[in-house]
Amino acid sequence: MTLPTVLVVAVALIDADGRVLIAQRPEGKQLAGLWEFPGGKVDPGERPEAALIRELKEELDIDVNEACLAPFVFASHAYDSFHLLMPLYLCRRWSGVVQNREHAALKWVRPNQLSDFPMPPADEPLVAWLRDLL
């Protein structure tokens, strides 16, 4: 069976202390309660970086310069009804103060604490990559 591919972009926002932002998925959404790297679906025809800039404004009210966004590693996970392809971008610079606009909660955590937070299965492998990098 061929599953449709869904492209989601996600970001590891890294603050001056080397902590990473994770966001808890809200009630009423798939995978509610799990902690994810912020981001969202790429609209048809949209460039992934533009999608990430749009999502970061919508979800966190911050502005990110496209030059700061380079994909770091891709997650690829087959859920029951779709195949998720999800590049994780790294971002250390943004303007504005992070606000919670759409999630149940936000948390800044040290890379070695990321595995204490239950994540969607697609996000989990990204944690080891990040821990090794940071």
Which residue lies nearer to ligand CDP by CB, 8 or 62?
8
Single out the residue of 11, 13, 14, 37 in contact with ligand CDP (rule: CB under 6 A): 37
DSSP string computed for 12-69: EEB-TTS-EEEEEPPTTSTTTT-EE-SEEEPPTT--HHHHHHHHHHHHH--B--GGG-
Single out the residue of 72, 79, 117, 129 in contact with ligand CDP (rule: CB under 6 A): 79
**What's the one-letter identity of residue 134?**
L
Which residue lies nearer to ligand CDP by CB, 38 or 62?
38
Contact mark string toward ligand CDP, 85..124, x via CB under 6 A: -----------------------------------x-xx-
Q: Are 16 and 100 in contact (CB under 8 A)?
A: no
By the rule CB under 6 A, 53 interacts with ligand CDP: no
By the rule CB under 6 A, 29 interacts with ligand CDP: yes
Dig out the tokens for 134 from the structure: 């940071």
Residues in contact with ligand CDP by the rule CB under 6 A: 8, 10, 29-31, 36-37, 39-41, 79, 84, 120, 122-123
